[in-house]
Amino acid sequence: MATITFVVGGTRTNSKNLWKIQDDGSSLTIIDSADIGSVANVYSVVGDSEGNFYVGTNEGKVYKVDLNLDVITSWGTNGVYDAGSATKEIYGLAVDVNGYLAIAHFGSTTPTTYTVKLLDSTGTLVWEEDHQSSNGSTCVSYSVKFDSSGNVVGVGSRNSGLYDGYKYQRADGAKLKSYWQKSGDGYGEGVWVFSDDDVVISDTPIGPGYGINVRKCSSDNTEEWNVSVVAESGHNPLRNSIVADDDENVYVGGNANGSKTIYKLNASTGVTDASYDTGGSVYGLDIDANGNLVAGGWEAADEDTNTAKLRIFDTDLTLLRYTNDSDLGTIYAVAASTHIPSSEVGEPADKLYSKNFVAVGNDQLWYESSAGTMSQLAASAVDGQLDTTIPLTICSAFQKVFIANQTNLKVADFINTKIVTANIGSNPPDRGNILTGDSSAAEMIVDFITSTSGASTIYGYRTTAATFEASETISGTDDDNNDIDFNMTAVAEVAPPHWYDWTPFGNDTTTYGTMPSEAYLVCRYRGRLILAGHRSYPHQWYASYVANPWSWIYSSTDPLSGIAGNNADAGEVGDIIKALIPYGDDFLIFGCADSIHIMDGDPASGGSIDEITNHTGIYGAWAWCKDNDGNLYFFGHGGLYKMAGGRSKPVCISSNILPKWIENWALDPSLHRVVLSYDPLRYGILISKITLSSGANSNYWFSLQTGGFYPTSFQDEAGVFCSKYYDSDSSGTREMIMGCNDGYLRIFKDSAKDDDSGASDDAISSYMGWIEQLGDGEDKEGKLTSMTVESGGGASSGAYSDTDGFSYELHTAADRETCMEDMKDGATARETGTISTTGRQNRIRKKVRGMNLGIKIYNSTASETFAINKISAVVKPVGRKK
Amino acid sequence: MAEFNPPLLGINNAVNPDKQPSLTTDYMDNVWPIDVLEKRIRLGQRPGVDKAFDGQIGNASNPIVAVCVVTTVD
């Protein structure tokens, strides 16, 4: 259970009437308190989405306080809304996500006395309305809630034939609906509105009998159930003492005159599933952040013989803990659903971001919508948005993903909120302007707009909890101090992610320049988005404004301006650009067809482009990677190249080991892709050749620990088309992730003994064969008399993981080449066997004689893997080869 | 008793087998120098590949052509 903190209010005790309570799962502790209104008792408390609280007192006033229980003087009048001295008791409060506050309070004997009010987020009255249900002696509203449209539902006293409750229209307080017409005078005491706008009301009649009645209906007053919970003399529900849990079970609090004081009503039927006697009246009920019921009221001895004012129950009404702290007054109000943020109570909150994996395939962009789940960005799948059969690269920048797919230049926006207008007006916003919703008070920082005139879509980062509402007026001031003024369409704001065309800001090419008409290479360098790969201008590169991917206009006097090769002193690249490889803010490598170039510094401020080598180019846009030490590896004309630090002359590190690599792979760029994938967890690089049409692949694993190359093969389905190390927040996906031929994203997994091939798993066929000299001299033979194998795992089970079994073959031949050939050709071995246990095996007493011994170790059994510690042997010389 | 020298340094086909550098071979596949059991430098079968996410990108058996990571503020 997480430690949580919540707020309660009540009778002024020891000069305090508002308390902050900490529940650590074993006890309840007062950690802060305040004296709200000095001489007042607190009757109602509610928390908003920003962690502030609204506090209603018995003096007809509402205060707004912050996390520290200090009055927020910028709200209302010096932090106070005064409903009028004659109003007195503020019984019910409700606040919506936009900071609008609904108030239910005591009125008078006049039937039309206003007892329901709505304040805007500044604490200014929007409207006040009557309950119009005076029972002849008092007119009062007891409880209010908002529905999903921001309308107010309130209940209060009534005369016979009138209603317990009404729905008041948000805009002007007009009564939209009435709830629960009843005969006889009485009181609607508590109201709860569900997320689907269903309404639950607790009620009691006036006069002999009293009792607790509860009714649930739909928003249009269609009854779902109506129960008489209890009919005990003098026993009635208490104002505002009603709450529902996540399963829509309803909890109702009553006064002390009943045999029970808390009732749990079944969500579907209203039948009482549980009840509890706290011994005293229960005025405040709420569900806390742990899903427990918090109940506050009189100090009294409960049915478990505990004396308390504040109690915590589980949802079956089992008492968990309680407090009767003498500093607490009688509890009239509980605001437990608003958990005070952990930073307030000293818990560190280090994580302020989220990471999401993004993948492109089948003409669609998908993203990690929740940990471990990939979802389609639907708009990307519309015909013509993407074409994954033509070259495409992507890069992340500014909390978005930028896609270069030749003529399809797109943005996947994961941070901005979207609002739409049919007419952006004569003063469109500039990037960075603040826009405010006139009625919602929502605010956003403008990032991008699709047009500077007429219909336009605005993307910006919303900085408030309040959200932009449909049809509302938007205001602001542009960079020239002109008023921004437009109306949203009848569509409220839309949360990210979004998909849109990558264009200059507002598509205004006069002010923000022109983007290339096509590109398939994109990267981020020095805060600029860099594009290249235009088929008609293959030597050209284009750079956006620094930190502004929507501005491409060139200015010779602005070192941050957009710039292209033909503008810059650095010039264009003298070879066809095939890859963009940024090194932070230091330099940018252009991998070209037959050369490697490096751009040093900023292209608009003294940057230069120099040729590093013309002895090799780079195979393609995916044929490179960097290790953790900043070394660059790429596949070039001679095989695998390394550029130490990314700057030095490239050196071919494979030619002395795999001189036939290029010949064997027989690469054709129209048929094959080469991908280099750096795995920091395994400290190596996977070099993959994949056939574009079929997924047939050949691979080498290059170990940065041993410096060796290790042939590796996968099923066609798992052929690697692209890869990225994902430093995920979830350990399960913190791996090098490979985009594969069949549309699945895959990882290397140490616990996987087979390869996933989509619908099934395939055994890994692993083998190695090598030659040992048996003779003790030139042209001499030896005799292997025994062999000892130590397989991985020590004793069976135990601290070290155990290998599975493997098989072996022993070949002999007069020369090494024949011996190796026999193993490769599958010739009949001299001896064979199987190792099936771990640790040192019993000596293998198989005797073979010859000049050279070929040993093959292999395993192709499903669900098996192996590791070998050591192989040793007893070999006796037997003389010269005949 | 002599200890044999399996090809811990991987493959090398630059020379004929008669001159094969120590700890290398011309014949191996799917064997890596770091084992999957204890992640030590010793020869063993490479790790298998497994799905990172359950669903197919694009809901079809078409190649994934590009991937990246995007980070956003909460």
Question: Could you give the ipTM of this predicted complex?
Answer: 0.97
Residue A345, pLDDT > 50, answer no
Provide the chain A residues 760-799 that lie in CB contact (below 8 A) with chain B: 761, 764-772, 788, 792-793
Spell A10-23 as b/e; 16+ CB within 10 A means b: bbbbeebbbbbbbb
Contact (CB<8Å) B64/A872: no
Provide the chain A residues 591-620 that lie in CB contact (below 8 A) with chain B: none
Number of continuous H segments (helices) and E segments (strands) in chain B: 0, 6
What pLDDT was estimated at residue A207?
66
Concatenate the DSSP letters of all residues of A509-549 into one string. HHHH----S-BSEEEEETTEEEEE--SS-TT-EEEPBTTBT
**Does A402 touch chain B if contact means CB atoms closer than 8 Å?**
no
* Strand order through the sheet with A577-583: A577-583, A587-592, A596-600, A608-613
Question: Which chain B residue's Cα is nearest to A776?
Answer: B2
| In contact, A411 and A380? CB cutoff 8 Å | no
Residue A589, pLDDT > 60, answer yes
In angstroms, the separation between the Cα of residue B65 and the nearest Cα of chain A is 6
Could you give the CA distance from residue A737 to residue A747 in angstroms, rounded to a whole number? 5
Could you give the CA distance from residue A335 to residue A45 in angstroms, rounded to a whole number? 6
What pLDDT was estimated at residue A339?
53
Q: pLDDT band for position A1 (50/70/90)?
A: low
Question: Which chain B residue's Cα is nearest to A366?
Answer: B57
| In contact, A72 and A34? CB cutoff 8 Å | no
Q: Which residue has the higher pLDDT, A474 or A882?
A: A474
Cα A505 to its chain centre, rounded Å, is: 28
Model pTM score: 0.69
**Bridge partners of A770?**
A855
Q: Of A412, A767, A865, which is closest to B28 when you measure between CB atoms?
A: A767
Residue A342, pLDDT > 60, answer no
Residue type, A50: E
Could you give the CA distance from residue A17 to residue A55 in angstroms, rounded to a whole number? 10
SS3 A10: strand
Could you give the CA distance from residue A216 to residue A480 in angstroms, rounded to a whole number? 56
Query: By mean pLDDT, which of A182-191, A277-286, A529-538, A689-698 is the weakest?
Result: A182-191
Q: Which residue has the higher pLDDT, A94 or A208?
A: A94
Residue A551, pLDDT > 70, answer yes
* pLDDT mean across residues, chain A: 91
Residues of A whose CB is below 8 A from B5: 770, 772
Percent helix, strand, coil in chain A, to 5, is 5, 50, 45
Q: pLDDT band for position A654 (50/70/90)?
A: very high
Provide the chain B residues 29-68 that lie in CB contact (below 8 A) with chain A: 29-68
Q: What are phi and psi of B18, to 5 degrees?
A: -65, -25
Residues of A whose CB is below 8 A from B49: 714, 718, 738, 746-749, 752, 755-756
User: In this structure, what token pair is assigned to residue A173?
Assistant: 């307080």
Residue A206, pLDDT > 90, answer no
Per-residue pLDDT tens for B14-64? Answer: 998 888 999 999 999 999 999 898 888 999 999 999 999 988 999 889 999
Residues of B whose CB is below 8 A from A771: 17, 20, 25
Cα B67 to its chain centre, rounded Å, is: 21
Q: Is the dihedral of CA A793, A796, A802, A806 positive or negative?
A: positive
Residue A394, pLDDT > 60, answer yes
What pLDDT was estimated at residue A347?
46
Residue type, A174: A
Q: What are phi and psi of A816, to 5 degrees?
A: -65, -35
SS3 A50: coil
What pLDDT was estimated at residue A138?
62
Mutate which: B49, B51, B73, vs A, most A CBs within 10 A: B49
Could you give the CA distance from residue A753 to residue A441 in angstroms, rounded to a whole number? 57
Cα A227 to its chain centre, rounded Å, is: 43
Contact (CB<8Å) A360/B66: yes
Query: By mean pLDDT, which of A117-126, A288-297, A836-845 is the weakest?
Result: A836-845
Q: pLDDT band for position A369 (50/70/90)?
A: confident
Could you give the CA distance from residue A180 to residue A188 in angstroms, rounded to a whole number? 9
What pLDDT was estimated at residue A208?
59
Query: By mean pLDDT, which of A73-87, A245-259, A657-671, A725-739 is the weakest?
Result: A73-87
Angle A103-A105-A106 (CA atoms, 0-180°, nearest 5)? 170
* Interface contacts A/B by beta carbons within 8 Å: 355
